[in-house]
Amino acid sequence: MATSSNPAGGHGDPTRRDFLMVATGALGGVGLAATAWPFINNLNPAADTLALASVEVNVAPIQVGQAITVKWRGKPVFIRHRTPEDIKAAESVPMSQLPDPQTDNSRVTDSAKKVRPEWLIMIGVCTHLGCVPLGNRPGQDKGPFNGWYCPCHGSAYDTSGRIRQGPAPKNLVVPDYLFLSDALVRIG
Protein backbone atom coordinates (compact mmCIF):
# COMPACT_ATOMS: atom_id res chain seq x y z
CA MET A 1 0.00 0.00 0.00
CA ALA A 2 1.38 3.34 -1.03
CA THR A 3 1.52 6.10 1.54
CA SER A 4 0.88 9.69 0.69
CA SER A 5 3.08 12.44 1.98
CA ASN A 6 0.22 14.88 1.45
CA PRO A 7 -1.40 15.70 4.82
CA ALA A 8 -4.50 16.99 3.07
CA GLY A 9 -5.44 13.53 1.97
CA GLY A 10 -4.24 13.70 -1.62
CA HIS A 11 -6.23 16.76 -2.71
CA GLY A 12 -3.43 18.90 -4.08
CA ASP A 13 -0.40 20.72 -2.80
CA PRO A 14 -1.16 22.53 0.52
CA THR A 15 1.12 25.46 -0.23
CA ARG A 16 -0.52 26.01 -3.60
CA ARG A 17 -4.00 25.84 -2.06
CA ASP A 18 -3.01 28.33 0.67
CA PHE A 19 -1.62 30.69 -1.95
CA LEU A 20 -4.82 30.47 -4.02
CA MET A 21 -6.96 31.21 -0.93
CA VAL A 22 -4.88 34.26 0.01
CA ALA A 23 -4.78 35.50 -3.59
CA THR A 24 -8.56 35.07 -3.99
CA GLY A 25 -9.19 36.89 -0.70
CA ALA A 26 -6.86 39.74 -1.65
CA LEU A 27 -8.43 40.07 -5.11
CA GLY A 28 -11.89 40.13 -3.52
CA GLY A 29 -10.79 42.84 -1.07
CA VAL A 30 -9.36 44.99 -3.87
CA GLY A 31 -12.56 44.52 -5.87
CA LEU A 32 -14.70 45.50 -2.87
CA ALA A 33 -12.58 48.60 -2.22
CA ALA A 34 -12.70 49.58 -5.91
CA THR A 35 -16.48 49.20 -5.89
CA ALA A 36 -16.99 51.08 -2.59
CA TRP A 37 -14.62 54.01 -3.31
CA PRO A 38 -16.96 55.97 -5.63
CA PHE A 39 -19.73 55.80 -3.03
CA ILE A 40 -17.43 56.89 -0.20
CA ASN A 41 -15.85 59.65 -2.31
CA ASN A 42 -19.32 60.95 -3.17
CA LEU A 43 -19.79 61.87 0.52
CA ASN A 44 -16.98 64.45 0.31
CA PRO A 45 -18.01 68.06 -0.34
CA ALA A 46 -17.89 69.21 -3.94
CA ALA A 47 -15.03 71.42 -5.11
CA ASP A 48 -17.31 74.45 -5.46
CA THR A 49 -18.48 74.00 -1.87
CA LEU A 50 -14.92 73.74 -0.59
CA ALA A 51 -14.07 76.92 -2.46
CA LEU A 52 -16.80 78.69 -0.49
CA ALA A 53 -15.67 77.32 2.87
CA SER A 54 -14.60 80.84 3.80
CA VAL A 55 -15.07 84.23 2.23
CA GLU A 56 -13.19 87.46 2.86
CA VAL A 57 -15.16 90.71 2.79
CA ASN A 58 -13.82 94.25 2.70
CA VAL A 59 -16.04 96.14 5.15
CA ALA A 60 -14.30 99.52 4.75
CA PRO A 61 -16.84 100.86 2.20
CA ILE A 62 -19.84 100.05 4.43
CA GLN A 63 -21.02 103.29 6.01
CA VAL A 64 -22.45 103.53 9.53
CA GLY A 65 -26.09 102.49 9.37
CA GLN A 66 -25.59 100.60 6.11
CA ALA A 67 -25.83 96.83 5.57
CA ILE A 68 -24.75 94.46 2.83
CA THR A 69 -25.51 90.87 1.96
CA VAL A 70 -22.79 88.45 0.86
CA LYS A 71 -23.09 84.80 -0.12
CA TRP A 72 -21.32 82.17 1.98
CA ARG A 73 -21.86 78.41 1.58
CA GLY A 74 -24.93 79.16 -0.50
CA LYS A 75 -26.56 81.25 2.22
CA PRO A 76 -27.01 84.99 2.57
CA VAL A 77 -24.90 86.60 5.27
CA PHE A 78 -25.97 90.00 6.60
CA ILE A 79 -23.21 92.42 7.57
CA ARG A 80 -24.50 95.58 9.24
CA HIS A 81 -22.40 98.54 10.35
CA ARG A 82 -24.52 99.48 13.33
CA THR A 83 -25.20 102.99 14.54
CA PRO A 84 -24.62 103.97 18.18
CA GLU A 85 -28.43 103.97 18.53
CA ASP A 86 -28.62 100.38 17.20
CA ILE A 87 -25.98 99.28 19.71
CA LYS A 88 -27.66 101.09 22.60
CA ALA A 89 -31.05 99.58 21.70
CA ALA A 90 -29.56 96.07 21.55
CA GLU A 91 -27.70 96.42 24.85
CA SER A 92 -30.69 97.83 26.74
CA VAL A 93 -33.00 94.83 26.20
CA PRO A 94 -33.56 92.81 29.40
CA MET A 95 -32.71 89.13 28.96
CA SER A 96 -36.13 88.24 30.41
CA GLN A 97 -37.77 89.69 27.28
CA LEU A 98 -35.86 87.41 24.91
CA PRO A 99 -37.23 84.01 23.84
CA ASP A 100 -33.62 82.93 23.08
CA PRO A 101 -31.56 84.93 25.62
CA GLN A 102 -28.20 86.04 24.32
CA THR A 103 -26.25 89.21 25.13
CA ASP A 104 -25.45 91.66 22.38
CA ASN A 105 -21.72 91.41 23.17
CA SER A 106 -21.74 87.64 22.61
CA ARG A 107 -23.21 88.24 19.14
CA VAL A 108 -20.57 90.78 18.07
CA THR A 109 -17.46 88.94 19.26
CA ASP A 110 -15.26 87.42 16.55
CA SER A 111 -13.33 84.14 16.66
CA ALA A 112 -10.34 85.91 18.25
CA LYS A 113 -12.67 86.96 21.12
CA LYS A 114 -12.46 90.60 20.10
CA VAL A 115 -15.71 92.53 20.66
CA ARG A 116 -16.64 94.87 17.81
CA PRO A 117 -20.11 96.21 18.71
CA GLU A 118 -20.33 98.30 15.55
CA TRP A 119 -20.29 95.18 13.33
CA LEU A 120 -23.05 92.58 13.31
CA ILE A 121 -22.51 89.55 11.08
CA MET A 122 -25.27 86.91 10.83
CA ILE A 123 -26.61 84.25 8.50
CA GLY A 124 -29.69 85.84 6.92
CA VAL A 125 -32.00 82.84 7.21
CA CYS A 126 -35.06 82.90 9.47
CA THR A 127 -34.83 80.20 12.11
CA HIS A 128 -38.51 79.34 11.70
CA LEU A 129 -38.76 77.91 8.18
CA GLY A 130 -35.69 79.22 6.38
CA CYS A 131 -37.01 82.37 4.67
CA VAL A 132 -34.73 85.38 4.13
CA PRO A 133 -35.83 88.22 6.42
CA LEU A 134 -36.23 91.79 5.17
CA GLY A 135 -34.33 94.73 6.59
CA ASN A 136 -30.89 94.50 5.06
CA ARG A 137 -31.64 96.82 2.11
CA PRO A 138 -32.65 100.48 2.24
CA GLY A 139 -36.42 100.93 2.30
CA GLN A 140 -37.22 97.38 3.41
CA ASP A 141 -39.45 96.73 6.41
CA LYS A 142 -37.20 96.26 9.46
CA GLY A 143 -40.08 95.28 11.72
CA PRO A 144 -41.12 96.72 15.06
CA PHE A 145 -37.65 96.35 16.61
CA ASN A 146 -35.75 98.09 13.77
CA GLY A 147 -33.78 94.93 12.96
CA TRP A 148 -35.12 92.36 10.50
CA TYR A 149 -38.61 91.17 9.69
CA CYS A 150 -39.59 87.86 8.10
CA PRO A 151 -42.75 88.44 6.05
CA CYS A 152 -43.48 84.73 5.67
CA HIS A 153 -44.81 84.19 9.19
CA GLY A 154 -44.14 87.46 11.02
CA SER A 155 -40.94 86.79 12.97
CA ALA A 156 -39.32 90.04 14.11
CA TYR A 157 -35.66 90.38 15.09
CA ASP A 158 -34.01 93.29 16.94
CA THR A 159 -30.86 95.26 16.07
CA SER A 160 -28.77 92.36 17.38
CA GLY A 161 -30.58 89.73 15.28
CA ARG A 162 -32.32 88.25 18.32
CA ILE A 163 -35.85 86.93 17.98
CA ARG A 164 -38.36 89.24 19.68
CA GLN A 165 -41.73 88.09 18.35
CA GLY A 166 -43.21 85.52 16.02
CA PRO A 167 -42.86 81.80 15.54
CA ALA A 168 -39.07 81.67 15.06
CA PRO A 169 -37.58 79.69 17.97
CA LYS A 170 -33.98 80.98 17.82
CA ASN A 171 -31.94 84.09 17.08
CA LEU A 172 -30.40 84.58 13.65
CA VAL A 173 -27.24 82.47 13.59
CA VAL A 174 -23.86 84.18 13.95
CA PRO A 175 -21.25 82.30 11.87
CA ASP A 176 -17.60 81.95 12.82
CA TYR A 177 -15.78 85.02 11.59
CA LEU A 178 -12.50 86.79 12.20
CA PHE A 179 -11.41 90.36 11.53
CA LEU A 180 -8.07 90.05 9.73
CA SER A 181 -7.71 93.84 9.91
CA ASP A 182 -10.02 96.79 10.59
CA ALA A 183 -11.25 96.60 7.01
CA LEU A 184 -11.18 92.87 6.21
CA VAL A 185 -13.27 90.10 7.75
CA ARG A 186 -13.09 86.38 6.98
CA ILE A 187 -16.33 84.45 7.39
CA GLY A 188 -16.00 80.71 7.92
pLDDT means per 10 residues, the chain with 188 residues, are: 51 78 90 86 72 84 93 91 94 92 91 91 91 88 90 91 92 92 91
**Rounded distance between C-alpha atoms, residue 121 and residue 110, angstroms:** 9
**Rounded distance between C-alpha atoms, residue 32 and residue 102, angstroms:** 51
List helix spans (H) across 61-174: 84-91, 104-107
Catalytic residue numbers, as ranges: 153
Q: What is the pTM of this model?
A: 0.71
Range of the domain at 34: 13-44
Whether 100 and 56 share a structural domain: yes
pLDDT at 51: 61
Domain count, the chain: 2
Whether 106 and 26 share a structural domain: no
